[in-house]
Structure 1
């Protein structure tokens, strides 16, 4: 089986995604694109096409698996990629994801199938970032659900697509202004942004493929072939060790990093959830509830909707012998947050939005912490506080 590089290109901004795919097909010799159209799932099948820069070279259908279009994609994608690798002649397989498919799952499926993912790219139109983050509609309402049980929203799906990819292919958008571009930069400050239009067939700089240089050297093509670490990407999203944005304030967009050592009072936080969640276009991080002092909780909000989940124990609550089973990146993140009294238990929430009321939001968050008297009562008393989050955590 010949060496085949796989790049995953996703994103809800379909026009930007298609433009990025066209750019890659144009820039990388011997490349093809695989696309599974999940819009036909209601009819019981998923339509697969394989095309090169000239046009469609193969098409077929994959049956639904467990009434789930995304499951059908998973089952069909790896065999098709293996077939391409075995046939030879293909240098790069571009996996163009359907609108609402998230790149993390597909990157892990391809890697688990023994293939090499060399890049993950999310295509973005800067003018559509804020509208997508503010869209709390269910995917099903927009015809974008990948399964009958798909309960994701447009906002949270877009946020995960954006934040997982180390590379953003950015479409030229006349409607985008400085605020739109700044919002994109603050939401994912570590991403490499590459204009989709970079490069031109006239190749004045001599960067295009030649007989001596078989690989395209345009920025987007280089990113597609640069290499990708699935485990590192997953760790960067895990709430215990996520690389969250830093403080920022420019062009009307702000990022507030709120870091505190004291736990939340569960009832006061629960009563303030609407105000906190709606204060920013995007917020995420980890937090600490007094009545669950050993549990690291994940905060994930977009489009005015909040998801709260348990992410396992704080390291401080584990016996020393269990630390060896914790990934090194998690231990390193905990060390950065370590406190002599509470270990890694803390509040670390990040809020990003145009027009963010930083002072008001900080006051609201601070008001939800334990008071001096409540804090002094100790952990045994904290655990007796009303468990206001049981419903959200499905306990």
Structure 2
């Protein structure tokens, strides 16, 4: 059986320069025989036509198009069918999947790393996020605001920009001619805070060395090691045993990009936390982590914030809320589980990343959202709760207008 075919996944917002980069990869592929799958929204796949004009591979052969949908959701079955057919019908050295401007790379990569037919034939070599430097700075620099990225049901652009960078092995800072040197430095500093391990390259017109993009850097074991997750892991080793701890991370920085790790073993009051999240300072670019909120449902919650977009998701019951025999089973299988004698695994662990944050003020504001001693003794299910009560459901706390 032949060795797995390496795959490069290209992601990025609409107009960031993915198709330009793809055409450069094809033009400068050298001895590589590259097959391409491109995806665009709409009945006419413009990207496929642009790519097919610049390669000997025909649309019916090496360039496969999936139109009128997103390869990471509605057309997931079509994606798997297309890549399996490509591997069966022709020989090539490398597959490049260009996701549409509203696709996220993580589900696409999952197709090639799980027990699917595609995973049996391919392996992910790299995940490349193409960033429009001007757009990124306008979204997150100073008082920037990221608008929606598509129709009224789509998630905001800020989500796409941040999540694409956080999952990337390579980040291409494109359109560098449209920002000042200081703005570009600020963008790169923020990108490195979001994904510390990524290879970052600056360019105009997507002029990138193909050898860099094709190199194997993807590791399934560290694929989700975004900056916020690394901050939690580092901070956990330094946290006080009582769980009341916050760490200020100050890497070598010129433009004030820092992170704060916040841990508490006392729950948030749902209304006060909601009000805090609706008025989150613009300096906070990314927040992620687990929240303990005083509700009658005894659920853990996951906070996800990227720029002006803030969502809270009910993740499921705390292990400590389960019957004792189930708790014991979970704890036996999770030797590193952070367990408190009184509260079990109930806790808040958050990372906030931003530029020029007033870190002490943020920590104080979060502390003000915690229950008082009197509230700890009250009936928590009497608190008005704006957050979801069913596991898997989420609530949009804030997001930019269309």
TM-score, normalised on structure 2? 0.73
Aligned to 2:238: none
Q: Deviations over 1:74-104 (max 9, x none)?
A: 2332222222211332011100111111111
1:184 aligns with 2:195: no
In 2 relative to 1, CA 393–32 (structure 1 residues): closer, same or farther, beyond 3 Å?
closer
Q: 1:117 aligns with which of 105, 114, 123?
A: 123
Aligned to 1:385: 383
Report the Cα distance in structure 1 between the residues aligned to 2:286 and 2:88, rounded to whole angstroms.
44
The 10-residue stretch of structure 1 (355-364 or 191-200) with the greater mean CA deviation from structure 2: 191-200
Structure 1 unpaired stretches of 5+? 201-215
1:219 aligns with 2:222: no
1:359 aligns with 2:360: yes
Aligned to 2:170: 167
1:138 aligns with 2:131: no
1:103 aligns with 2:113: no
Tell whether the 8 Å contact from 2:71 to 2:79 is kept in structure 1 after alignment. Answer: no
Aligned length: 353
Q: Deviations over 1:287-325 (max 9, x none)?
A: 111125731101111232211111112233334644698
Aligned to 1:158: 161
Q: Deviations over 1:248-288 (max 9, x none)?
A: 33222221222222110112222222223645122121111
1:257 aligns with 2:264: no
Q: For 2:273, what is the secondary structure of its paired residue?
A: helix
The Cα shift of 1:340 comes to 2.9
Q: For 1:343, what is the secondary structure of its paired residue?
A: coil
Aligned to 2:9: 8
1:296 aligns with 2:300: yes
Structure 2 unpaired stretches of 5+? 235-247, 396-402
In 2 relative to 1, CA 276–243 (structure 1 residues): closer, same or farther, beyond 3 Å?
same
Q: Deviations over 1:22-81 (max 9, x none)?
A: 45443461112221221x24x7x897567597355225765657xx78655423322222
In 2 relative to 1, CA 265–97 (structure 1 residues): closer, same or farther, beyond 3 Å?
same
Q: Deviations over 1:160-192 (max 9, x none)?
A: 222123432344724243222111111222334
Q: Deviations over 1:136-159 (max 9, x none)?
A: 43323xxxx4xxx73311111222
